[in-house]
């Protein structure tokens, strides 16, 4: 235990001496802190006047072909700002060609018209506004023709149903943003520090430092001390950034929109935070041991990138499963992946936050995560120890596993 603490302190101190880690952590924390001030500057929390859209085409022209309908249609649009009744269809087309208006209308009858618009226009709301105005006018005309007062009909239709939604279980929509944020944080954390620990182990082997270290203490102590030091540094970095976000949120809480506050309050409960902490830390340590083992296989630092490619692909697949599964937290792939330790660090907390997960599934998922982490740690220690005997030679994981199994059989 004493040797483990010695190795841990040494590795952790070496990481603290790297100014790039400290500076990058502080810069990211300050940026995260600054982002929480955005609602204050854009007035997200201030009461703003309700926007009332004007009933206007802003600039549009209408040509009415049928003389019988001309007076009625002209009266309908007489109070609509920006609409001009013109004398010919060519005038409408020319105005559109010259970009004087976005859309124009050639009206053949009350129910038949042509929209003239430029080919480059992708989003055009003029037609919807035209149909809304004309539809209301035609409805009023038809009612009046039948001797019915249009105002009485419109007043009878002027009501609003008030609905209150009662959700049984958890609201998956509220956890979407938090889920993506945590997913991205863990993705970057594991990739950055996983590659760091693999490179560190490979560098020791390349410089023959490993040979000297193993003579002074056990390989188990060396690999555990290194992984725990790197792991703690990564966790400390994330906690510093989270502290910046929390501090900024507390200062600017009153400026955040109500839906953001509801979303945060509904998802950042203590049980959700504990669940994320358990699976994130266990999964983080699991991947660090895998990266350390792969770093022990190579004989040169230059070979690290190719050695860690398989686990990087597995990790990316796990990330994409969690990303796409976030829209379907109760899907089969999300449930199955909750029992796969390399994926469950993402999927189980997401499922727990977004939907109801039985307690036994969580217990089994944690047990599998712990069990696989212990096995990978043991394999990592074995590879690290054998790495000292294979300087200049790159070991194959398949051969290492075969040797380990053979040793276990011979020891019985």
Question: Tens digits of per-residue pLDDT, 284-306?
Answer: 999 999 998 888 887 778 888 88
pLDDT value at residue 152: 86
List, for residues 48-100, the tens digit of each pLDDT value: 444 344 444 457 888 899 888 888 988 988 888 888 899 999 999 999 888 88
pLDDT value at residue 371: 94
CATH architecture of 60-154: 3-Layer(aba) Sandwich (3.40)
pTM assigned to the model: 0.66
47 band by pLDDT with thresholds 50, 70 and 90: very low
List, for residues 17-44, the tens digit of each pLDDT value: 888 888 888 998 899 888 888 888 775 4
Domain boundaries along the sequence of the chain: 1-39+171-411, 60-154
125 band by pLDDT with thresholds 50, 70 and 90: confident
SS (H, E, C) the chain: CHHHHHHHHHHHHHHHCCHHHHHHHHHHHHHHHHHCCHHHHHCCCCCCCCCCCCCEEEEEEEEECCHHHHHHHHHHCCCCEEEEEECCHHHHHHHHHCCCCCEEEEEEECCEEEEEECCCCCCCCHHHHHHHHHHHHHHHHHHHHCCCCHHHHHHHHCCCCCCCCCCCCCCHHHHHHHHHHHHHHHHHHHHHHHHHHHHHHHHHHHCCHHHHHHHHCCHHHHHHHHHHHHHHHHHHHHHHHHHHHHHHHHHHHHHCCHHHHHHHHHHCCHHHHHHHHHHHHHHHHHHHHHHHHHHHHCCCHHHHHHHCHHHHHHHHHHHHHHHHHCCCCCCHHHHHHCCCHHHHHHHHHHHHHHCCCCHHHHHHHHHHHHHHHHHHHHHHHHHHHHHCCCCCCCCCHHHHHHHHHHHHHHHC
């Amino acid at each position: 235990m004493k040797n483990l603490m010695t190795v841990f302190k040494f590795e952790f101190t070496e990481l603290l001496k790297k100014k790039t880690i400290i500076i990058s952590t502080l810069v990211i924390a300050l940026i995260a802190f600054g982002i929480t001030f955005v609602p204050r500057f854009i007035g997200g929390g201030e009461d703003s006047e309700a926007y009332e859209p004007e009933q206007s085409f802003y600039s549009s022209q209408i040509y009415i072909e049928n003389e019988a309908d001309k007076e009625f249609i002209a009266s309908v649009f007489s109070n609509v700002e920006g609409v001009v009744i013109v004398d010919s269809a060519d005038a409408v087309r020319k105005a559109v060609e010259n970009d004087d208006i976005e859309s124009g209308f050639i009206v053949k009858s009350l129910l038949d018209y042509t929209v003239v618009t430029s080919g480059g226009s992708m989003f055009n709301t003029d037609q919807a506004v035209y149909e809304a105005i004309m539809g209301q006018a035609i409805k009023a005309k038809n009612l009046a023709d039948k001797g019915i007062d249009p105002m009485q009909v419109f007043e009878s239709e002027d009501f609003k149903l008030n609905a209150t939604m009662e959700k049984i279980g958890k609201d998956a929509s509220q956890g979407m943003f938090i889920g993506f944020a945590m997913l991205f944080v863990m993705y970057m954390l594991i990739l950055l520090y996983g590659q760091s620990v693999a490179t560190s182990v490979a560098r020791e082997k390349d410089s023959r430092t490993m040979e000297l270290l193993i003579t002074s203490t056990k390989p188990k102590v060396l690999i555990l001390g290194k992984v725990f030091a790197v792991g703690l540094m990564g966790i400390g970095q994330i906690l510093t950034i989270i502290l910046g976000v929390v501090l900024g949120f507390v200062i600017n809480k009153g400026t955040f929109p109500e839906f953001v506050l509801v979303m945060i309050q509904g998802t950042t409960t203590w049980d959700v935070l504990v669940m994320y902490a358990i699976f994130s830390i266990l999964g983080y340590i699991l991947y660090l041991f895998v990266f350390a083992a792969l770093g022990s296989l190579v004989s040169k630092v230059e070979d690290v990138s190719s050695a860690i490619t398989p686990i990087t692909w597995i990790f990316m697949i796990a990330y994409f499963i969690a990303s796409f599964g976030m829209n379907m937290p109760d899907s089969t792939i999300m449930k199955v992946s909750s029992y796969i330790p390399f994926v469950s660090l993402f999927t189980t907390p997401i499922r727990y936050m977004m939907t109801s997960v039985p307690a036994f599934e969580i217990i089994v998922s944690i047990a599998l995560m712990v069990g696989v982490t212990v096995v990978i740690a043991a394999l990592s220690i074995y590879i690290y120890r054998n790495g000292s005997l294979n300087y200049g030679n790159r070991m194959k994981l398949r051969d290492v596993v075969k040797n380990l199994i053979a040793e276990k059989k011979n020891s019985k």
